[in-house]
């Protein structure tokens, strides 16, 4: 292709509509703007009975429209042309030559000239002879002709099914869009329509299929290469008996017309940008946006050169592969941009042509070479100022040669816009310099011509004029009317006087007071100077004024402050005074009249010591003020005019601003002292009464508890010796009565503690669900006895963990739940917990106990929560109690930072609620039980059904054995999908799921989330069982949806604790045994000497490995266990002796535990399987550890994690610890060099392989002995 290409403007294409509609059996007529017939097709002539010559040039409406409709149709014709829009469907009558009236359904469009202007309109339609009749069916002969016609048609014709599949497209359709039959076999209409137009087209098709006429559509299809093709045409529905509805579309390509219209719009837009853009940067960006409307501009630059062509500046540069310092100027050299500028012609350059230009030395390549480039010089007249270019790095066919015409056509306008904007900016910079001088400072500057009109002014004057007159100042404004006329008489005459003096050539200066629109004063200082031209003639008066309003306002404000101080001074209740250096009173406030009984003039000039009750007070006060500079809260007595003392509180200081003497304020505190004395007496009386009450209750507690202890103890002993049912009934009555008496005693003591202020909260982290479970367990039996439904619910936004006093929270809940159960005979009792307010980490949590019991009337409800209050005080009352429970609950709720209340009505049940203020906690804040603590194992009445999820066979076996020992029925899932399938299977009823975290295909977190989504509220608890052993790991798993956490290696006691925490009692059922699983084992008694770690000497340390040992391949699976061999490369020779492991190689306690779980054969098989698995893992990981890289480090994490978990399970302590060390190192830095640490891991593996064989042999010998 030639580097240059001749520019040709785009031309429109006219579609051959008459012949097309003849083939479709539709009438067609084209009329100009006056309604004269320009063209008709044969079908229309046959319908009307005319010859072509008889209709061309005649008025369509006078020849073919019935007289009664003629005027309305002609008017509609002109309206269509004026608004350039037709109705979607027209049903109009046509008058034939023989005088018959035929009714047709029309669709149409507009005819346009090459410039896109409307020259007329065309109509195409079909006669509506019988609206219910089906459309005619073409014979095979007619169908073949129609097929041939459609394939030869220039317009795009397609047949669509009701679900928008392409049933047929003609040849022009495929050629225009570039699709083959094979491409179309897998595409529907939605695959070819532009995404922006898809919704509208589908909406039109849906309306068409539903029976609404849709005659005209305008849309955009995408070619096989992704280029848009603009189309306009018509749609029609095809309805055949027994067939689904389908659609026909005839579309005409108007892409060239759209491009031409867009090109014209872009041309004019760029011309306007030179005016509207605020600066060159905005202009460049706007030019880029406008060009993107007509061609691809992902990579565009504008390079400008000076007239001497010494420097090239990339003024605008947007590129997918930007070059460093792309915007920095460079010398004008031999780059591709310079090549285009020198040539002065637009260029269409391919990559091959660029390479040829570089090879022959014509140009020098800068940066990445594109596949294709369009470049056009920016010319202003005969002068070239730069180059405009677009390019593409990936597709050689990104641009067509016609795009170069478009770019060159636009480039001249771009050059003019850039040149104009550059000149504007230069003028603006010069004006800015001048304006900066004019606008600098805070002065008002303006000029007035000889006729009193405003000639120029700065912004300060503009702001002043607007503020004073309420309208903006403008040049040419007559100041005598717009400004001076608005002034008062005095300032107006002042301005006129000084203007006249300035016109005589005498400079003037004066101050004047004005008023703004709000009536506020404005003070200015004005300087007037005459301006003369070079010939000595008078031109203007220059005025410079300074706004002195603020100084005037400050002066007035000072006066107002003085008046305000005087008003305050005179309204003082305290006595303000000031003395001179001799101690004589110089100022005193009028309040001396109310405090001491003197008039102010009676004390002025007298010594201040005359007014103190004790003369020595004056000397002490003066000495303190002199040494400290000020005195605060000095209490003394002053003498009233009547002679009695007045207690005052004095605050005094040395006089300010260097004046001699002192000043102060004296406040009368006589009444305050009386109030304090009264309060002190009341406080002493209350404390004495409270202390007596507290001592009495303490004595009573001791005196009552001593016999109560004997009574309760004897009842318990008596209960063990009863022989008859009658005696058992008597003892049970005694026990209940004694428990009730003890509860009353405890309530009274709690109330006394609260009232005495001795109740102290013991705050700690707790789990809300655990608290409610304890309440449920405590009261479930009582609810079942009364056949009540007892439930609880925690709303989703309530924090799971909080910090508060758990004992007191349980005390309130227990009291409210006990009351609810007591006063409810049928129905439900429920506890609802929700967070009602949040302040940072603090929440206000609301607990509501709702029942369906007897209810409380509003009058009775107002008497609740007070001491010793019972609503039913009759001798025949049904319910007992002391009336202290709710009073204690109220005071406990207040101690916990909340309140308590009730909503109830008689017979409607009750809702007792209380709130507490607590801090949100995290899982790690909870008190954690020591996982290694051993204790007696609790059994289950019914064996729990457990799902164990782990991908490692060894972990599966160990987990199964531990759970069987704890009395569980266990199913095993090998991965995440298997766990989901088993947990959600029909009939599955698991009590608990133990879930491994790291598994292939799907991790445990994802599997848990899927199980919870499927099972909803019926999902059993899910506990993480993983080798992730850090505390933050446990917290993370809890946040991601796990209910609890068990670390590997798993301890029996820890497993038992988790089981009893989450497995709830349920009705007895026949357990479903897992496939191939042994029967549940009876739980043996815990051995007396079992410990969580091995005894001294029970751990086998790693023996050194010879460093020079050769590499040996992994032994086959059938190899004897007693002959372990090295797996991978030996320890490097640089280390004379491998490091001693910080952890034992083999934990014999784990080995013995495994033997106890499944017997010696089980343990032997387990260790052999682990050795084979670990050997393979170490072998696979060795090449990755040799070469440090981020990819290798990431790939190493999976085998290391698997090795860590399984090694911990079988007691390979040193191996597990080293694997964990490597895992942590690679998580922090995947590219870390771990070669040396991996050699240590290999050493620990070899040592373990030897150690477990020896340990198994020793165990076998001991059993044989």
| Res 555: pLDDT | 79
Summarize the confidence of residues 179-195 as an average pLDDT. 89
What's residue 632's pLDDT?
86
Strand stretches in 987-1038, DSSP E = 992-995, 1022-1026
Residue 320 has pLDDT above 80, yes or no: yes
Question: Is a pLDDT exceeding 50 seen at residue 205?
Answer: yes
Q: Is the pLDDT of residue 1075 over 60?
A: no
Please tell us whether the domain made up of 441-554 is placed in CATH 3.40.1440.10.
no
Give 838 or 1067, the one with higher predicted confidence.
Answer: 838
Q: What pLDDT sits at residue 1070?
A: 38
CATH superfamily of 1099-1264: HPT domain (1.20.120.160)
Name the residue among 269, 275, 319 with its Cα closest to residue 289: 269
* pLDDT, tens only, 1187-1212: 878 888 888 888 888 888 888 888 88
Whether the CB-CB separation of 922 and 803 falls below 8 Å is answered with no
Query: What's the rounded Cα separation, in Å, for the pair 249 and 169?
Result: 10
Q: Helix axis angle, 953-965 relative to 1148-1158, nearest 10°? A: 70
Domains 278-417+425-431 and 760-924 share a fold: no
388-414: pLDDT as tens digits: 999 999 888 888 877 888 888 888 888
Q: Which of 420-429, 538-547, 642-651, 1070-1079 has the lowest mean pLDDT?
A: 1070-1079
| Euclidean distance between CA atoms 220 and 176, whole angstroms | 12
pLDDT digits (tens, 9 = 90+) for 433-442: 767 777 777 7
**Range of weakest confidence among 456-460, 1105-1109, 1154-1158:** 1105-1109
**Above 70 in pLDDT, residue 709?**
no
Q: What is the CATH number of domain 572-668?
A: 3.30.450.20
Residue 744 has a pLDDT of 62
How much is the pLDDT for 575?
Answer: 86
Closest to 1226 measured CA to CA, from 1252, 1248, 1194: 1194
Structure tokens at 211: 């029976």
Q: Return the CATH number of the domain spanning residue range 928-1062.
A: 3.40.50.2300
Residue 236 reports pLDDT greater than 80: yes
The second-level CATH assignment, the architecture, of 684-759 is Orthogonal Bundle (1.10)
Q: Rounded to an integer, what distance in angstroms lies between the CA atom of residue 869 and that of residue 702?
A: 25
Give dist(CA 411, CA 375) in Å, integer. Answer: 9
278-417+425-431, which class in CATH?
alpha beta
- With beta carbons less than 8 A apart as the criterion, state whether 510 and 527 touch: no
Q: What is the pLDDT of residue 26?
A: 84
pLDDT of residue 1011: 93
Domain boundaries, the chain: 1-133, 278-417+425-431, 441-554, 572-668, 684-759, 760-924, 928-1062, 1099-1264
Supply the DSSP symbol for 333: -
* pLDDT digit string, tens, across residues 824-883: 999 999 999 999 999 988 999 999 999 999 888 887 777 777 654 555 544 334 454 555
The C-alpha angle with vertex 634 and arms to 629 and 635, in degrees rounded to 5, equals 165
* pLDDT at residue number 523: 86
| 1-133: in CATH 3.40.50.920 | no
CATH 3.30.565.10 fits 760-924, yes or no: yes
Structure pTM?
Answer: 0.30
Q: pLDDT band at 994, cuts 50/70/90?
A: very high
- pLDDT at position 984: 92
Of 100-109, 357-366, 1127-1136, which range is least confident? 1127-1136
Hey, what long-range contacts does 456-463 have (CB within 8 A, 24 or more apart)?
460/547, 461/545
Label residue 743 by pLDDT band (50, 70, 90). Answer: low
The mean pLDDT of 1029-1033, rounded to a whole number, is 62
Q: Report the chain's mean pLDDT, rounded to a whole number.
A: 79
- For the cut 80, the answer to whether the pLDDT of residue 383 exceeds it is yes
Which range has highest mean pLDDT (110-114, 698-702, 1176-1180)?
A: 1176-1180
Band of the pLDDT at 914, cuts 50, 70, 90?
very high
Distance of CA 418 to the CA centre of its chain: 43
Q: How much is the average pLDDT of 619-632? A: 80
- Residue percentage of the chain with pLDDT more than 70: 82
Residue 122 pLDDT: 86
pLDDT given at position 1: 42
Distance from C-alpha of 653 to C-alpha of 1251, rounded to nearest angstrom: 89
**What pLDDT score was predicted for residue 1074?**
39
Between 1169 and 830, the higher pLDDT residue: 830
The pLDDT of residue 299: 92
Answer whether residue 958 shows pLDDT above 60: yes
Residues near 473 by beta carbon (within 8 Å), at least 6 away in sequence: 454, 457, 461, 462, 465, 466
């Amino acid at each position: 292709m030639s580097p240059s290409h001749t520019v040709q403007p785009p031309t429109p294409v006219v579609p051959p509509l008459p012949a097309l509609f003849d083939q479709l059996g539709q009438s067609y007529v084209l009329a100009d703007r006056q309604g004269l017939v320009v063209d008709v097709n044969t079908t229309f002539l046959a319908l009307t009975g005319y010859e072509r010559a008889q209709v061309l040039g005649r008025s369509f409406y006078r020849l073919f429209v019935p007289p009664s409709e003629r005027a309305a149709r002609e008017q509609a014709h002109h309206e269509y042309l004026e608004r350039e829009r037709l109705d979607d469907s027209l049903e109009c009558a046509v008058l034939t030559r023989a005088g018959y009236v035929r009714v047709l359904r029309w669709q149409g469009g507009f005819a346009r000239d090459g410039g896109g202007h409307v020259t007329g309109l065309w109509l195409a339609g079909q006669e509506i002879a019988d609206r219910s009749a089906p459309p005619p069916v073409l014979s095979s002969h007619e169908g073949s002709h129609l097929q041939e016609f459609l394939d030869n048609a220039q317009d795009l014709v397609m047949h669509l099914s009701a679900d928008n599949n392409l049933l047929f497209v003609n040849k022009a359709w495929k050629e225009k869009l570039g699709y083959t039959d094979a491409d179309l076999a897998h595409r529907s209409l939605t695959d070819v329509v532009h995404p922006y137009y898809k919704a509208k087209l589908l909406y039109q098709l849906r309306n068409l299929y539903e029976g609404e006429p849709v005659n005209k559509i305008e849309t955009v299809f995408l070619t096989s290469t992704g280029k848009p093709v603009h189309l306009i045409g018509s749609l029609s529905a095809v309805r055949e008996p027994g067939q689904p509805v389908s659609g026909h579309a005839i579309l005409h390509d108007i892409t060239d017309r759209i491009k031409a219209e867009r090109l014209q719009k872009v041309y004019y837009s760029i011309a306007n940008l030179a005016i509207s853009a605020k600066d060159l940067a905005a202009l460049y960006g706007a030019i880029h946006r406008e060009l993107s409307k007509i061609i691809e501009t992902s990579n565009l630059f504008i390079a400008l050169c000076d007239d001497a062509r010494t420097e090239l500046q990339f003024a605008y540069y947007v590129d997918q592969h930007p070059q460093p310092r792309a915007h920095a100027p460079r010398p004008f050299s031999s780059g591709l941009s310079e090549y285009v500028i020198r040539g002065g012609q637009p260029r269409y350059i391919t990559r091959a042509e660029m390479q040829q230009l570089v090879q022959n030395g014509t140009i020098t390549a800068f940066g990445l070479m594109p596949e294709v480039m369009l470049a056009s010089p920016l010319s202003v007249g005969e002068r070239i100022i730069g180059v405009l270019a677009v390019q593409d790095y990936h597709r050689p066919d990104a641009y067509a040669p016609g795009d170069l015409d478009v770019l060159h056509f636009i480039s001249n306008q771009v050059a003019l816009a850039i040149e104009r904007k550059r000149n504007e900016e230069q003028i603006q910079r010069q004006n800015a310099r001048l304006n900066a001088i004019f606008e600098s400072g805070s002065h008002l500057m303006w000029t007035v011509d000889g006729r009193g009109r405003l000639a120029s002014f700065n912004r300060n004057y503009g702001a002043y004029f607007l503020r004073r007159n309420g309208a903006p100042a403008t040049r040419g404004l007559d100041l005598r009317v717009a400004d001076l006329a608005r002034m008062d008489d005095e300032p107006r005459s002042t301005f006129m006087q000084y203007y006249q003096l300035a016109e005589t050539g005498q400079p003037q200066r004066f101050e004047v007071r004005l008023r703004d629109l709000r009536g506020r004063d404005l003070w200015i200082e004005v300087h007037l100077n005459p301006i003369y031209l070079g010939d000595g003639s008078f031109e203007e008066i220059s005025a410079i004024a300074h706004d002195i309003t603020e100084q005037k306002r400050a002066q007035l404000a000072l006066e107002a402050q003085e008046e305000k101080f005087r008003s305050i001074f005179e309204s003082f209740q305290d006595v303000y005074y000031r003395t001179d250096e001799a101690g004589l009173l110089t100022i005193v406030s009028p309040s001396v009249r109310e405090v001491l009984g003197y008039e102010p003039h009676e004390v002025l000039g007298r010594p201040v010591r005359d007014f103190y009750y004790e003369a020595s007070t004056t000397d002490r006060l003066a000495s303190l003020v002199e040494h400290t500079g000020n005195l605060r809260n000095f209490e003394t007595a002053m003498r009233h005019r009547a002679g009695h003392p007045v207690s005052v509180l004095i605050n005094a200081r040395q006089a300010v601003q260097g004046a001699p003497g002192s000043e102060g304020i004296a406040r009368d505190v006589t009444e305050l002292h009386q109030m304090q004395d009264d309060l002190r007496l009341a406080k002493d009386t209350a404390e004495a009464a409270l202390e007596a009450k507290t001592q009495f209750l303490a004595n009573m507690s001791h005196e009552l508890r001593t016999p109560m202890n004997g009574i309760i103890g004897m009842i318990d002993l008596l209960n063990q010796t009863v022989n008859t049912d009658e005696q058992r009934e008597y003892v049970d009555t005694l026990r209940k009565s004694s428990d009730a008496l003890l509860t009353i005693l405890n309530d009274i003591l709690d109330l006394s503690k609260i009232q005495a202020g001795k109740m102290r909260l013991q705050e700690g982290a707790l789990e809300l669900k655990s608290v409610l479970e304890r309440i449920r367990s405590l009261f479930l039996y009582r609810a079942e006895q009364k056949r009540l439904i007892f439930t609880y619910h925690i709303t989703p936004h309530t924090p799971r963990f909080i910090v508060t006093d758990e004992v007191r929270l349980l005390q309130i809940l227990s009291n409210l739940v006990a009351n609810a159960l007591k006063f409810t005979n049928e129905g439900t009792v429920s506890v609802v917990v929700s967070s009602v307010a949040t302040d940072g980490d603090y929440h206000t949590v609301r607990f509501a106990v709702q029942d369906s019991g007897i209810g409380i009337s509003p009058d009775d409800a107002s008497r609740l929560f007070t001491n010793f209050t019972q609503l039913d005080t009759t001798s025949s009352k049904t319910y007992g109690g002391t009336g202290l429970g709710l009073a204690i609950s109220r005071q406990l709720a207040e101690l916990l930072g909340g309140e308590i209340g009730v909503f109830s009505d008689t017979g409607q049940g009750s809702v007792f609620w209380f709130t507490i203020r607590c801090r949100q906690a995290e899982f790690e804040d909870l008190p954690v039980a020591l996982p290694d603590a051993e204790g007696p194992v609790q059994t289950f009445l019914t064996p729990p059904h457990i799902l164990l999820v782990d991908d490692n066979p060894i972990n599966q076996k160990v987990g199964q054995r531990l759970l069987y020992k704890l009395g569980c029925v266990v199913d095993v899932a090998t991965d995440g999908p298997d766990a989901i399938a088993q947990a959600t299977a029909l009939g599955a009823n698991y009590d608990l799921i133990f879930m491994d975290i790291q598994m292939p295909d799907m991790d445990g977190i994802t599997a848990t989330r899927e199980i919870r989504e499927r099972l909803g509220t019926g999902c059993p608890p899910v506990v993480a069982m993983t080798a992730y052993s850090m505390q933050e790991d446990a917290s993370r798993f809890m946040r991601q949806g796990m209910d609890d956490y068990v670390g590997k290696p798993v301890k029996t006691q820890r497993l038992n604790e988790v089981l009893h925490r989450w497995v709830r009692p349920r009705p007895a059922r026949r357990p479903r045994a897992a496939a191939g699983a042994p029967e549940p084992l009876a739980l043996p008694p815990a051995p007396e000497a079992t410990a969580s770690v091995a005894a001294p000497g029970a751990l086998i340390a790693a023996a050194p490995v010879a460093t020079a040992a050769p590499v040996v391949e992994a032994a086959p699976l059938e190899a004897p266990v007693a002959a372990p061999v090295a797996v991978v490369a030996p320890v490097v020779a640089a280390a004379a002796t491998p490091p001693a492991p910080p952890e034992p190689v083999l934990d014999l306690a784990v080995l013995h535990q495994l033997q106890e779980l499944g017997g010696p054969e089980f343990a032997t098989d387990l260790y052999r399987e682990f050795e084979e698995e670990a050997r393979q893992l170490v072998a696979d990981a060795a090449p990755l550890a040799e070469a440090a890289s981020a990819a290798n480090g990431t790939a190493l994490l999976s085998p290391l994690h698997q090795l860590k978990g399984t090694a911990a399970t079988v007691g390979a302590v040193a191996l597990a610890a080293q694997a964990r060390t490597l895992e942590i190192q690679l998580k922090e830095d995947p590219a870390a060099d771990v070669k040396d640490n991996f050699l240590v891991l290999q050493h620990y593996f070899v040592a373990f392989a030897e150690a477990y064989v020896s340990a198994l042999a020793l165990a076998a010998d001991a059993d044989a002995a």
